[in-house]
Amino acid sequence: MKPDGTRQIAFILGHEFTALDAVGPYELLRLMPDTEVRFVAHRPGPVLTDGGVLSLVASHSFDETPEPDIVLVPAISANGPHIGELLEWLRRVHRTTEWTTSVCGGAMLLAMAGILDGHPATTHWSALEALPNFGSDPRPEERVVRSGKIVTAAGVSAGLDLALWLVGELHGQEWAEVVQLMAEYDPQPPFHAGHMSKASPRVRELAAAEMDRLYPAG
Protein backbone atom coordinates (compact mmCIF):
# COMPACT_ATOMS: atom_id res chain seq x y z
CA MET A 1 0.00 0.00 0.00
CA LYS A 2 1.27 3.44 -0.93
CA PRO A 3 1.87 6.22 1.67
CA ASP A 4 -1.40 7.90 0.64
CA GLY A 5 -3.35 4.70 1.38
CA THR A 6 -3.93 3.65 -2.21
CA ARG A 7 -3.08 0.31 -3.77
CA GLN A 8 -1.47 0.25 -7.18
CA ILE A 9 -2.56 -2.57 -9.46
CA ALA A 10 -0.43 -3.40 -12.49
CA PHE A 11 -2.21 -5.29 -15.27
CA ILE A 12 0.52 -6.59 -17.55
CA LEU A 13 0.23 -6.33 -21.32
CA GLY A 14 2.47 -8.24 -23.70
CA HIS A 15 2.73 -9.70 -27.17
CA GLU A 16 -0.48 -11.51 -28.17
CA PHE A 17 -2.02 -11.34 -24.70
CA THR A 18 -5.58 -12.58 -24.11
CA ALA A 19 -7.88 -9.59 -23.67
CA LEU A 20 -10.43 -11.03 -21.24
CA ASP A 21 -7.66 -12.26 -18.92
CA ALA A 22 -6.83 -8.63 -18.20
CA VAL A 23 -10.05 -6.75 -18.91
CA GLY A 24 -12.34 -9.04 -16.89
CA PRO A 25 -10.43 -8.60 -13.61
CA TYR A 26 -9.88 -4.92 -14.39
CA GLU A 27 -13.62 -4.28 -14.53
CA LEU A 28 -14.03 -5.63 -10.98
CA LEU A 29 -10.80 -4.52 -9.32
CA ARG A 30 -11.09 -0.94 -10.53
CA LEU A 31 -14.26 -0.65 -8.41
CA MET A 32 -12.32 -1.10 -5.16
CA PRO A 33 -11.82 2.03 -3.03
CA ASP A 34 -8.42 3.74 -3.00
CA THR A 35 -7.13 1.91 -6.05
CA GLU A 36 -4.80 3.12 -8.79
CA VAL A 37 -4.94 1.03 -11.96
CA ARG A 38 -2.14 0.77 -14.50
CA PHE A 39 -1.78 -1.17 -17.71
CA VAL A 40 1.94 -1.89 -17.90
CA ALA A 41 4.17 -3.01 -20.78
CA HIS A 42 7.78 -2.52 -21.89
CA ARG A 43 6.73 0.98 -22.96
CA PRO A 44 3.48 2.99 -23.01
CA GLY A 45 1.31 2.63 -26.09
CA PRO A 46 -1.02 0.17 -27.83
CA VAL A 47 -0.45 -3.58 -27.44
CA LEU A 48 -2.15 -6.02 -29.81
CA THR A 49 -4.10 -8.94 -28.37
CA ASP A 50 -3.92 -12.55 -29.54
CA GLY A 51 -6.96 -12.00 -31.78
CA GLY A 52 -4.93 -9.69 -33.99
CA VAL A 53 -7.58 -6.93 -34.09
CA LEU A 54 -8.13 -5.49 -30.61
CA SER A 55 -5.46 -3.46 -28.84
CA LEU A 56 -5.23 -2.11 -25.30
CA VAL A 57 -3.08 0.88 -24.43
CA ALA A 58 -0.35 0.50 -21.84
CA SER A 59 -0.41 3.57 -19.59
CA HIS A 60 3.02 2.96 -18.02
CA SER A 61 6.27 1.13 -18.65
CA PHE A 62 7.95 -1.47 -16.45
CA ASP A 63 10.53 1.12 -15.38
CA GLU A 64 7.76 3.52 -14.38
CA THR A 65 6.17 0.84 -12.19
CA PRO A 66 8.89 -0.39 -9.81
CA GLU A 67 6.73 -1.31 -6.78
CA PRO A 68 3.14 -2.27 -7.64
CA ASP A 69 1.08 -3.59 -4.75
CA ILE A 70 -0.79 -6.08 -6.94
CA VAL A 71 0.36 -7.62 -10.20
CA LEU A 72 -1.93 -9.45 -12.59
CA VAL A 73 -0.41 -11.38 -15.49
CA PRO A 74 -2.67 -12.56 -18.33
CA ALA A 75 -1.75 -15.13 -20.96
CA ILE A 76 1.10 -13.65 -23.02
CA SER A 77 3.09 -15.27 -25.82
CA ALA A 78 6.30 -16.62 -24.29
CA ASN A 79 7.95 -16.28 -27.70
CA GLY A 80 7.18 -12.60 -28.12
CA PRO A 81 9.55 -9.64 -27.89
CA HIS A 82 10.55 -8.16 -24.54
CA ILE A 83 9.76 -11.41 -22.70
CA GLY A 84 13.13 -11.33 -20.93
CA GLU A 85 12.44 -7.81 -19.72
CA LEU A 86 9.03 -8.88 -18.44
CA LEU A 87 10.38 -11.91 -16.57
CA GLU A 88 13.11 -9.87 -14.91
CA TRP A 89 10.57 -7.22 -13.89
CA LEU A 90 8.29 -9.92 -12.42
CA ARG A 91 11.13 -11.37 -10.36
CA ARG A 92 12.02 -7.95 -9.05
CA VAL A 93 8.57 -6.64 -8.14
CA HIS A 94 7.41 -9.97 -6.66
CA ARG A 95 9.75 -9.33 -3.74
CA THR A 96 7.58 -6.43 -2.57
CA THR A 97 4.08 -7.13 -3.92
CA GLU A 98 1.14 -7.67 -1.63
CA TRP A 99 -0.34 -10.08 -4.18
CA THR A 100 1.16 -11.59 -7.33
CA THR A 101 -1.57 -13.07 -9.52
CA SER A 102 -2.15 -14.64 -12.91
CA VAL A 103 -5.03 -15.63 -15.16
CA CYS A 104 -4.99 -18.48 -17.65
CA GLY A 105 -1.59 -18.84 -19.35
CA GLY A 106 -0.22 -16.01 -17.24
CA ALA A 107 0.78 -18.69 -14.76
CA MET A 108 3.36 -19.88 -17.27
CA LEU A 109 5.02 -16.45 -17.15
CA LEU A 110 5.14 -16.64 -13.35
CA ALA A 111 6.56 -20.14 -13.68
CA MET A 112 9.20 -19.03 -16.17
CA ALA A 113 10.20 -16.28 -13.76
CA GLY A 114 10.72 -18.91 -11.02
CA ILE A 115 7.89 -17.53 -8.92
CA LEU A 116 5.84 -20.76 -8.88
CA ASP A 117 8.70 -23.03 -7.87
CA GLY A 118 7.44 -25.07 -4.90
CA HIS A 119 3.90 -23.67 -5.13
CA PRO A 120 0.59 -25.23 -6.17
CA ALA A 121 -1.00 -23.41 -9.10
CA THR A 122 -3.54 -23.60 -11.87
CA THR A 123 -3.69 -22.35 -15.43
CA HIS A 124 -5.59 -23.09 -18.63
CA TRP A 125 -6.16 -26.84 -19.02
CA SER A 126 -4.00 -26.90 -22.14
CA ALA A 127 -0.93 -25.79 -20.16
CA LEU A 128 -1.39 -27.63 -16.86
CA GLU A 129 0.97 -30.46 -17.73
CA ALA A 130 3.84 -27.98 -18.19
CA LEU A 131 3.70 -26.63 -14.63
CA PRO A 132 5.71 -29.48 -13.03
CA ASN A 133 8.59 -28.60 -15.36
CA PHE A 134 8.93 -25.40 -13.34
CA GLY A 135 8.59 -27.01 -9.92
CA SER A 136 4.91 -26.20 -9.52
CA ASP A 137 2.16 -28.59 -8.39
CA PRO A 138 -0.78 -28.33 -10.83
CA ARG A 139 -4.29 -28.21 -9.41
CA PRO A 140 -6.57 -29.06 -12.37
CA GLU A 141 -9.76 -29.27 -10.31
CA GLU A 142 -9.41 -25.82 -8.71
CA ARG A 143 -10.52 -22.61 -10.39
CA VAL A 144 -8.50 -20.27 -8.16
CA VAL A 145 -5.43 -21.42 -6.22
CA ARG A 146 -3.78 -19.41 -3.47
CA SER A 147 -0.30 -20.15 -2.14
CA GLY A 148 0.90 -17.44 0.20
CA LYS A 149 0.66 -14.17 -1.72
CA ILE A 150 0.55 -15.95 -5.09
CA VAL A 151 -2.89 -16.48 -6.62
CA THR A 152 -3.41 -18.24 -9.95
CA ALA A 153 -6.66 -18.65 -11.88
CA ALA A 154 -7.65 -21.20 -14.48
CA GLY A 155 -8.52 -20.31 -18.06
CA VAL A 156 -9.70 -16.89 -19.22
CA SER A 157 -13.10 -16.45 -17.50
CA ALA A 158 -11.66 -17.61 -14.16
CA GLY A 159 -10.05 -14.18 -13.89
CA LEU A 160 -13.42 -12.82 -12.81
CA ASP A 161 -13.54 -15.26 -9.90
CA LEU A 162 -9.97 -14.39 -8.92
CA ALA A 163 -10.77 -10.69 -8.97
CA LEU A 164 -13.93 -11.07 -6.90
CA TRP A 165 -12.06 -13.22 -4.37
CA LEU A 166 -9.33 -10.60 -4.15
CA VAL A 167 -11.85 -7.82 -3.52
CA GLY A 168 -13.18 -9.89 -0.63
CA GLU A 169 -9.70 -10.40 0.80
CA LEU A 170 -8.88 -6.71 0.66
CA HIS A 171 -12.22 -5.11 1.53
CA GLY A 172 -14.40 -7.85 3.01
CA GLN A 173 -17.33 -9.88 1.80
CA GLU A 174 -19.83 -7.03 1.84
CA TRP A 175 -17.79 -4.85 -0.50
CA ALA A 176 -17.08 -7.86 -2.73
CA GLU A 177 -20.83 -8.39 -2.97
CA VAL A 178 -21.28 -4.70 -3.82
CA VAL A 179 -18.78 -5.08 -6.65
CA GLN A 180 -20.44 -8.32 -7.77
CA LEU A 181 -23.82 -6.61 -7.93
CA MET A 182 -22.47 -3.53 -9.70
CA ALA A 183 -21.03 -5.82 -12.37
CA GLU A 184 -24.14 -8.04 -12.23
CA TYR A 185 -21.83 -11.04 -12.17
CA ASP A 186 -24.33 -13.90 -11.89
CA PRO A 187 -23.13 -16.68 -14.22
CA GLN A 188 -25.87 -18.87 -15.66
CA PRO A 189 -24.32 -20.47 -18.75
CA PRO A 190 -26.66 -22.12 -21.25
CA PHE A 191 -24.21 -25.00 -21.63
CA HIS A 192 -22.11 -26.95 -19.15
CA ALA A 193 -18.80 -27.77 -20.80
CA GLY A 194 -16.70 -25.18 -19.00
CA HIS A 195 -14.33 -27.66 -17.36
CA MET A 196 -12.58 -30.72 -18.70
CA SER A 197 -14.46 -32.89 -16.21
CA LYS A 198 -17.79 -31.71 -17.63
CA ALA A 199 -17.14 -31.68 -21.36
CA SER A 200 -17.83 -34.69 -23.56
CA PRO A 201 -14.91 -36.56 -25.16
CA ARG A 202 -15.87 -35.12 -28.56
CA VAL A 203 -15.93 -31.55 -27.23
CA ARG A 204 -12.58 -32.07 -25.51
CA GLU A 205 -11.10 -33.41 -28.75
CA LEU A 206 -12.40 -30.48 -30.81
CA ALA A 207 -11.28 -27.91 -28.22
CA ALA A 208 -7.78 -29.37 -28.06
CA ALA A 209 -7.49 -29.28 -31.85
CA GLU A 210 -8.67 -25.68 -31.94
CA MET A 211 -6.19 -24.68 -29.24
CA ASP A 212 -3.40 -26.27 -31.30
CA ARG A 213 -4.54 -24.34 -34.36
CA LEU A 214 -4.81 -21.00 -32.59
CA TYR A 215 -1.70 -21.37 -30.44
CA PRO A 216 0.76 -23.67 -32.23
CA ALA A 217 3.71 -24.86 -30.17
CA GLY A 218 6.94 -22.99 -30.71
Looking at the predicted structure, is the pLDDT value of residue 217 above 80?
no
| ∠ Cα 68 24 79 (to 5°) | 70
pLDDT in tens, 32-89: 999 999 999 999 999 999 999 999 999 999 999 999 999 999 999 998 899 999 999 9
The pTM of this model reads 0.95
Catalytic residues: 104
Give the whole-number percent of the chain exceeding pLDDT 70. Answer: 100
Looking at the predicted structure, is the pLDDT value of residue 185 above 70?
yes
Looking at the predicted structure, is the pLDDT value of residue 170 above 70?
yes
Task: Report the 10 Å Cβ neighbour count for 189.
Answer: 8
Instruction: State the DSSP H helix or E strand holding residue 11, giving kind and residue range, or none if neither.
Output: strand 7-12
Contact 60, 68 (CB under 8 A): no
- Which pLDDT score, from 0 to 100, does residue 218 have? 54
